[in-house]
């Protein structure tokens, strides 16, 4: 074998020159998304939130939601009065508990015991010392109750907001149909009703017929460009579907990006030429462009595909396929199917 030929083969094994001109990782946040982690900021991370307790947050969010409702339905007050009263919203230690124990928080102290903060900041060292001991003693009770209170407030706000959306659909249907057309998911208040059937307790879903009719009349997902992220961890989902969603949204954002100062390369021109949203007729055209980027990431950063390879390993049992076979399964089969599965029906 000639030296020139050996050099050529060696070059093939090296890092391939990028075709897309991008250095964007594939399937961003893959491991955390699959594990259902949705946020990363610890509680009271900023000075603003350090001064607020759960009730302050709830009241502010509730006021903000009501302001949005008022802006969506500006004639509400006039219409209601005409009908019902015609004559008239860093540094951080490794643990949240550790932070609260090291840095005594005023709102937390007052939550534990009214007047505790004043005693903690007392100039009398005896009074201050006893108050600090009391704070440390009572803190576990707060750490146990705060998540429950915050979750209850969050659930109540979600239910209220969903009710607002239902009300707006009745009062401002044309407006809400335009809004819902852009989304593929929509909040609906559902519930369970317990019923004893032949001695066994059964659970029946309440408002199911209403939800179906409501979403149909809204025209949900009739003009949606971006698939809604579903990586909450509550619903079992294939990593291929999550990866396909991430890939499709990235392509949409890159396609519409206005922050491009240099001349477009060949791959970018192909991307810009695609018609959005991706429909079943156009799906293969979208995939051909997407595959160039995905193949490039396989060559330059194969570790980004680890979750997908592991997922397939479960399916492949004890078989050990060659690398080319793994790539074919990951990219050309499962990822391709998941990506094309995002396509909307043709009109």
Q: Quick one: 221 and 244 in the same domain?
A: no
Give domain status of residue 12, yes or no.
no
- Running DSSP on this structure, what letter comes out for residue 206? E
pLDDT tens-place values along the chain, 347 residues long: 444 444 434 344 445 557 888 888 888 777 777 777 766 678 888 888 888 888 898 899 989 888 888 888 877 777 877 777 777 645 544 677 888 888 898 989 998 999 999 999 999 999 999 999 999 999 999 888 888 888 888 889 999 999 999 999 999 999 999 999 989 899 999 999 887 777 788 888 999 999 999 999 999 988 877 777 666 777 778 899 989 999 999 999 888 876 665 688 899 999 999 998 898 999 999 999 999 999 999 988 888 898 898 888 755 444 555 677 888 999 999 999 999 999 988 76
Q: Quick one: 237 and 201 in the same domain?
A: no
Q: Quick one: 166 and 213 in the same domain?
A: no
Q: Quick one: 217 and 260 in the same domain?
A: no
Q: Quick one: 211 and 166 in the same domain?
A: no
Q: Which of 171, 224, 214 is nearest to 190 (CA)?
A: 214
Give domain status of residue 322, yes or no.
yes
Q: Quick one: 213 and 142 in the same domain?
A: no
Give domain status of residue 5, yes or no.
no
Q: Quick one: 199 and 238 in the same domain?
A: no
| Separation of first and last alpha carbons in the chain | 58
Number of structural domains, the chain?
Answer: 3
Q: Quick one: 210 and 244 in the same domain?
A: no
Give domain status of residue 212, yes or no.
yes
User: CA-CA distance, 343 to 225, in Å (whole number)?
Assistant: 10
The answer to whether the CB of 271 falls within 8 A of the CB of 289 is yes
Owning domain of residue 206: 182-225
Q: Quick one: 217 and 266 in the same domain?
A: no
Of 133, 148, 171, which residue constitutes the final position of a domain?
A: 171
Q: Cβ atoms within 10 A of the Cβ of 42, count?
A: 12
Q: Quick one: 215 and 246 in the same domain?
A: no
Give domain status of residue 90, yes or no.
yes
Give domain status of residue 111, yes or no.
yes
pLDDT at res. 236: 77
Q: Quick one: 157 and 253 in the same domain?
A: no
Of 138, 171, 204, which residue constitutes the final position of a domain?
A: 171
Q: Quick one: 26 and 53 in the same domain?
A: no
Give domain status of residue 177, yes or no.
no
The answer to whether the CB of 30 falls within 8 A of the CB of 243 is yes
Calculate the alpha carbon distances from 312 to 32, 163, 195, 241, 309 in Å.
19, 42, 42, 13, 5
pLDDT at res. 223: 82
Give domain status of residue 10, yes or no.
no
């Amino acid at each position: 074998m000639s030296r020139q030929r050996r050099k050529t083969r060696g070059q093939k094994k090296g890092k391939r020159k990028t075709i897309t001109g991008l250095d964007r990782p594939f399937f961003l946040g893959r491991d955390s998304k699959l594990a259902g982690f949705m946020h990363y900021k610890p509680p009271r991370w900023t000075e603003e939130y350090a001064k607020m307790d759960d009730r302050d947050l709830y009241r502010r969010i509730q006021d903000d939601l009501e302001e949005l409702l008022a802006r969506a339905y500006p004639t509400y007050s006039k219409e209601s009065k005409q009908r019902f009263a015609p004559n008239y919203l860093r540094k951080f230690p490794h643990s949240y508990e550790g932070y609260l124990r090291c840095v005594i928080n005023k709102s937390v102290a007052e939550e534990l015991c009214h007047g505790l903060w004043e005693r903690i900041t007392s100039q009398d060292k005896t009074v201050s010392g006893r108050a600090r001991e009391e704070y440390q003693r009572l803190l576990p009770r707060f750490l146990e109750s705060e998540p429950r209170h915050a979750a209850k407030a969050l659930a109540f706000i979600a239910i209220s907001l969903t009710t607002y959306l239902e009300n707006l659909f009745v009062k401002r249907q044309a407006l809400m149909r335009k809004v819902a057309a852009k989304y593929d998911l929509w909040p609906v208040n559902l519930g369970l009703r317990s019923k004893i059937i032949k001695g066994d307790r059964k659970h029946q879903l309440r408002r199911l017929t209403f939800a179906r009719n409501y979403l149909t009349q809204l025209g949900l997902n009739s003009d949606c460009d971006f698939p809604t992220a579903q990586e909450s961890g509550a619903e079992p989902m294939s990593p291929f579907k999550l990866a396909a969603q991430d890939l499709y949204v990235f392509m949409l954002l890159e396609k519409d990006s206005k922050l491009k100062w240099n001349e477009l390369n060949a791959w970018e021109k192909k991307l810009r030429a695609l018609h959005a949203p991706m429909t079943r007729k156009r799906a293969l055209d979208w995939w051909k462009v997407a595959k160039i980027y995905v193949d490039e990431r396989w060559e330059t950063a194969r570790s980004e595909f680890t979750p997908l390879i592991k997922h397939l390993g479960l399916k492949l049992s004890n078989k050990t396929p060659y690398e080319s076979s793994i790539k074919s399964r990951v990219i050309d089969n499962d990822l391709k199917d998941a990506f094309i599965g995002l396509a909307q029906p043709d009109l």
